[in-house]
């Protein structure tokens, strides 16, 4: 229900997302179907189960927020598993026929092994969640892994045919900004330094320093920045409502919504659906405010032309 990570895209035009009936139709065309015997994976949108919504609700709209879920089922068939069977079969052929198996024949045997094992392979299922904030024109995906988050954007574009989305690039570099905050010993406005930090030296082979559950104002940590290392991740707390790790790529990791938010939900909701809807609104509002305040501190967003 509550996002633990956040990858962000800005949506310059949300007009194709505002008609919820039409959006549900678009998403249903890219709906999830179980992976077939000879396929490696299957991915698509899944509907929400709700007593108050029809079965084809692929986009759950609560006021100016829309929640969507993408399901992925993939076969677990690793290269080491395939290689083990391949080595056995090659060894058997070479022993029985007293000859070497060439590269082309080995590739053909490998393909045959994959065709044989794929229908019987176990599958791994995962879900990718996202919130579309229509008011603030943001797509927020519950993942800090770029390839995973981009799956959501790719399939949303596939469903809509066209969707312009721009990365969250700012006028001021985020490493520069976070390094300044660490050197100052404080974060500006409604942000506070938390207890985690990552610093990197310049150059590909430069060391990485990670501090976890530490007092970030201690000289032992700040001295790394004084020596020229730059901050790539920084723990922050906002309004005593949410804490997270902010990264140089404008992703939020290890998000924790604090007790004050949980208490607000508990007061408003009397069943699962009310709690889900209330948390969707409050989570979207909180994350959007955090995102825009961080962007403002970094000089604002780059324009679409500058991205």
pLDDT score of 12 more than 60 = yes
pLDDT in tens, 100-159: 999 999 999 999 999 989 998 999 999 999 999 999 999 999 999 999 999 999 999 999
pLDDT score of 306 more than 70 = no
Tell me which of 52-61, 120-129, 198-207 is least confident: 52-61
What is the average pLDDT value for the chain, to the nearest integer?
92
As a whole number of angstroms, the distance between CA 5 and CA 24 comes to: 25
Contacts 24+ apart (CB under 8 A), 203-208: 208/232
pLDDT at residue 52, rounded to an integer: 55
The pLDDT-based confidence of 54 (bands split at 50, 70, 90) is low
pLDDT at residue 254, rounded to an integer: 98
CA dihedral 199, 202, 203, 206 (to 10 degrees): -50
| pTM of the shown model | 0.89
């Amino acid at each position: 229900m509550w996002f633990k990570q956040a990858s962000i895209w800005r949506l310059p035009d949300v007009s194709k997302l505002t008609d919820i009936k039409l959006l549900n139709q678009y998403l249903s065309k890219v709906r999830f179907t179980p992976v077939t015997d000879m396929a490696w994976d299957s991915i698509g949108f899944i509907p929400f189960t709700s007593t108050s919504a029809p079965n084809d609700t692929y986009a759950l709209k609560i006021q100016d927020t829309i929640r969507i879920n993408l399901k992925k089922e993939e076969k677990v068939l690793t290269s080491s598993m395939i290689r083990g069977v391949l080595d056995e079969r090659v060894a058997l052929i070479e022993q029985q026929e007293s000859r070497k198996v060439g590269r082309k024949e080995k590739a053909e045997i490998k393909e045959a092994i994959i065709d044989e094992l794929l229908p019987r392979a176990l599958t791994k299922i995962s879900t990718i969640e996202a919130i579309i904030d229509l008011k603030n024109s943001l797509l927020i995906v519950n993942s800090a892994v770029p390839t995973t988050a981009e799956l959501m954007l790719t399939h949303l574009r596939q469903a809509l045919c066209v969707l312009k989305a721009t990365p969250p690039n700012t006028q001021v570099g985020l490493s520069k900004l976070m390094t300044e905050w660490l050197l100052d010993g404080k974060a500006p406005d409604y942000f506070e330094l938390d207890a985690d930090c990552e610093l990197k030296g310049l150059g590909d082979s430069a060391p990485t320093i990670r501090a976890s559950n530490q007092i970030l104002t201690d000289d032992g940590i700040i001295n790394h920045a004084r020596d020229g290392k730059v901050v790539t991740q920084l723990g922050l707390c906002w309004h005593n409502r949410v804490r997270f790790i902010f990264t140089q790529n404008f992703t939020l990791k290890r998000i924790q919504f604090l007790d004050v938010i949980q208490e607000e939900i508990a007061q408003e909701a009397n069943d699962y659906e009310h709690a889900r809807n209330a948390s969707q609104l409050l989570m979207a509002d909180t994350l959007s405010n955090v995102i825009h305040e961080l962007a403002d501190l970094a000089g604002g967003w780059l324009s679409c032309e500058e991205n």
